[in-house]
Each structure stands twice: as C-alpha cells, then as structure tokens.
Amino acid sequence: MTILTFTTTFVFLNQIITVHLFIYNIFLLLYSIGIKITALWNPKARLWLNGRKDIWTRIAQIESKRSANQPLVWMHCSSLGEFEQGRPVLEALRQQYPAIQIVVTFFSPSGYEVRKNYSGADHVLYLPMDSKAAARKFLASVQPNLVLWIKYEYWFYYLTELKKKQVPCILISGIFRKDQPFFKWYGRLHRYMLESFTHLFVQTENSKHLLGTIGFSNNVTIGGDTRFDRVVQIAEQFEPIPTIEQFCGNASVIVAGSTWPEDEEELDHYANTHPEIKFIIAPHEITEPHLQEVEKLFKNAIRYSQYKTQSGNTEANSTNKLQTANTLIIDNIGMLSKLYKYATITYVGGGFGDDGVHNVLEAAVYGRPVVFGPVYDKYIEAEELVQEGGGLVINTALEAEQTFNTLLADAGAYTLACEAARNYVYNNKGATGSIIQFIQENRLLTS
C-alpha cells in the first residue's frame, strides 16, 4: 500500500467516523426530546426523566463521602437483568476489598426503581445521558479506579473518556452476534468503543471468535455468564414464603414468570379447564390495566395482595372466591426468583414477543422443567437448556396443554427434565471467580 493510498484510506475512515458520530449525537438529541414528550403520558418515561433532575447534586456527594485514597468501583448496567448479572462480581469484590466504595448506575427505570436501595453499594444512581460534557463531568467527580460494564449498552463518550483517562474497564458476560454493528464495514465507531475496554469477558466461543475477526484476541476471555452464579446464590439462600405455601397446598403448581399478554393468552385456557392445578402468574408489567386484563383471562384468579390480606381472616377465608381460586396473580415486584421454587413446572414469558424469552436460569436452578415460547434464538442459555433437555418450547396453546399434561403424567420424562435443568445451571457456574482472579492478578484495585 502506497503512502498516498494509506492516507486516502485513513481520511475516508475518519470521514465515516465523523458522520457516524454526528448521527449518534442526533440520536442522543432526539432521544432526550422524545423522552420528554413521552413522559407526558408514560409512567416509565416520567420516572426516567424525574430520576435525573438532581443527578449532578447526587454525583457531587460521591466525592465528598469518599475517604482519601479510597478505591472506587463503578458498575454500570442497563437494567435489572444486567444488575443481577453483575451483582455476584460486585459482592465478591466487596468481600475481597472491604474498604472500597461502590457506585452503581442504571440507564433504565426498571433497574433503578427496583434496586435504588441496594445495600451492597454506597451510591445507586441513574447514569446521566451520554455526551462529551456529561462524561467528563461524571468521571471528574467519581474518579473510578475500576469500571465494570455489564453485557452491553455501549455509550461512546463515557467509554472513550475512560480510555483517555486510562481507567481499567472490564466488560462482564458480553455476548456478540455477527449482525451487530461491531462486525460491519460501517462499525468503526462501535469498534472504538470496544477499544476502550481493558479486558472483555465473553460468554461463548462464538463471541470470542467474532471479536477475533476484528482484531480483538489478546484481551478476550471466555468467562461464561455470571448469572449462573447469581441464580445459584439466590436458590441456596432461599427463604420460604408462607402465603405462597398456603396457596399451593399439595396441588401441582405451574409458575409463569415475566409474562406478557401473548403468554397469558396461551396459558389461560389450561388454567381455566384444570381447576385442580394451581397457577401462579407473575406478569412482567404490573400496571393496573394489565392486572385487570389478566383477571379477565383467568376466571378463578385472585391477586396476591388480596389473598395475603384475606387468607389470614377466618371470615374472609370462607368466601367462595378465596376457596375456588386456582390462579394467584402476583401484583408486586421482587418475588419471582423465589416463586419458581414452588413450581412443579415453570413457564418463562417473553417467548411470544419480538424481544424473546426472559431469564430461564432463575427457573432452571430449582431443578424444574422450563417451558417457553418460540422466540429464544438470541439467548444462548435458552438454546443450551433446550439442547440439554431442561427447556421445552411451545408454539401454541395446544402445545402448552400437551407439554403440561406429559410432564404431569410421565414421571420418567418429568424427572429427566428436572435433572437436566438443574445440572445445566450448576455445571456452568463459576464465571465470577475468573473475573475476580483477573482483577487480583492484575492488581486493578491495589497500588
């Protein structure tokens, strides 16, 4: 390649990056405007907006509460699922380095609102919207010694500013697919963001291979998925829920978690025609309109809050609704990971929507068959669970009925599915340990 050709290519690539950065900034501007408009009627958008009103005041307090030379770890996660993914690493670091200060940031209200009082962190905040000024101001105030970036959601200015300041940044449980911009001819801006990471811990061999095709090999490790460690931790720290135990009694129980309307429409007929089976439905959205729709679908349903109040009341306990209810609708957040423990069969929602199935590991860890809809190809753990025999895919309500009936009637098939589910989870735990070992060996939190 001649000097002229090299120079021309370099200028061309810089022009592409400039154009893409311009588009990125337009996206950020439109997002900010859009969220303000949407907040007029959308509760989530309103939470997103209101949660950031005093954000810089709260960020300024981080520095004031930090002791001299106290190491600080910043963990960023998009939402609740990513938080649970990073949580085992964060808690292991706290155990290994008790003097550190921990800052957790969220982008989404669904993560922040549930974990804003998380006691394992010194500060839990919304991440200010990405911009060059915001990134500089945030890092100047927080001054992290180590950054943990969970799975995805790449913000250009934050990541590149970390690189400029030479702050160690680790990607945890990353997952990559060939259709992502990183691997396209126009993906130079995205590859710049990847260059900001000191090390990338990925879940699969395929992710490592894909990164190798764009020049990332020396700083990539197949570390597995830290969610396995998290769900094992939850299962082994399980504490009974008396109200749920009372509702279940000695019946067979189907626990359906993170359900959307499409899931509920596949399940309601079976619940309505099998009153001897107890159903526990934990909708992904617990807005009042949605809860009312679930009540319409499931004819013998009662909400958890109502059941909990009335079941302890002798007079109320004799009412027909309490006695005939075979479906319990969970109208709160935070119980789902424990509810699967009470299942004979579990059902995980999302598989009938465009985004795909939710967290199948929360259910599988208890050694129960995990049933879900057909959209799961983006989730390696769901694919592998099916391959191992612990996951069962349904496409219609009729298939759901056939699958439930088989599992409840065939003890051999049921036992095999239970063992496959549990073994899959326990055979894949340990990702947290490899990340902690890397941090220790590279002295990222010690001088």
Mean pLDDT value across residues 314-326: 66
* Topology agreement, domain 51-224+430-441 and domain 240-427: yes
pLDDT (0 to 100) of residue 12: 46
pLDDT reported for residue 314: 52
> Distance of alpha carbon 223 from its chain centroid, rounded?
17
CATH of region 240-427, choose from 2.40.50.140, 1.20.1290.10, 3.40.50.2000, 3.40.50.2300: 3.40.50.2000
Answer yes or no: are the C-beta atoms of 211 and 220 closer than 8 Å. Answer: yes
pLDDT confidence tier of residue 2, bands split at 50, 70 and 90: low
CA distance 147 to 107: 16
- Tell which wins on pLDDT, 316 or 76: 76
Residue 319 or residue 384, greater confidence: 384
Of the candidates 254, 253, 190, which has an alpha carbon nearest to the alpha carbon of residue 216?
190
E strands, 189-273, are 199-202, 220-222, 253-259
Q: What is the pLDDT of residues 12-44, one digit of tens each?
A: 455 667 788 988 999 999 999 999 999 999 988
Q: Which residues contact 198 (CB under 8 A, 6 or more apart)?
A: 168, 169, 170, 219, 444
For residue 4, pLDDT over 50 is answered with no
Can you tell me the mean pLDDT for 263-278?
96
As a whole number of angstroms, the distance between CA 128 and CA 134 comes to 7
Q: Mind listing the pLDDT tens digit for each residue in 197-215?
A: 999 999 999 999 999 999 9
Query: What tokens does 146 get?
Result: 């180590």
| Average pLDDT of the segment spanning 186-191 | 88
Least confident of 167-176, 221-230, 310-319: 310-319
Q: What angle do CA 146, 151, 154 make, to 5 degrees?
A: 80
- For a pLDDT cut of 90, what percent of the chain falls above it? 80
Are 172 and 82 within 8 A, CB to CB? no
Cα–Cα distance for residue pair 279/437, rounded to 1 Å: 43
51-224+430-441 CATH fold: Rossmann fold (3.40.50)
- What does the block give as tokens for 378? 């983006």
pLDDT at 312: 65
The ranges assigned to domains in the chain are: 51-224+430-441, 240-427
**Alpha helices of 257-410 — where are they, by DSSP H?**
261-273, 288-297, 304-311, 314-317, 320-324, 336-339, 361-364, 380-388, 397-409
CA–CA separation, 401 and 103 (whole Å): 46
At residue 9 the predicted structure's pLDDT band, cuts being 50, 70 and 90, is: very low
Query: Please, how many CA atoms are within 13 Å of residue 235, restricted to the half-sphere of its CB?
Result: 21
Q: Give the separation between CA 267 and CA 271, rounded to whole angstroms.
A: 6
- Looking at residue 447, what is its pLDDT? 64
Half-sphere exposure of 259 (CA within 13 A, CB side): 27
Side chain identity, residue 423: N
pLDDT in tens, 130-179: 999 999 999 999 999 999 999 988 999 999 999 999 999 999 999 999 99
Q: What is the pLDDT of residue 6?
A: 43
Q: What is the mean pLDDT of the chain?
A: 91
pLDDT tens digits for 168-186? 999 999 999 999 999 998 8
Confidence of residue 420 (pLDDT cuts 50, 70, 90): very high
Of 59-63, 264-268, 414-418, least confident by mean pLDDT is 59-63
The least confident of 53-57, 67-71, 245-249 is 67-71
Average pLDDT over every residue of 246-272? 96
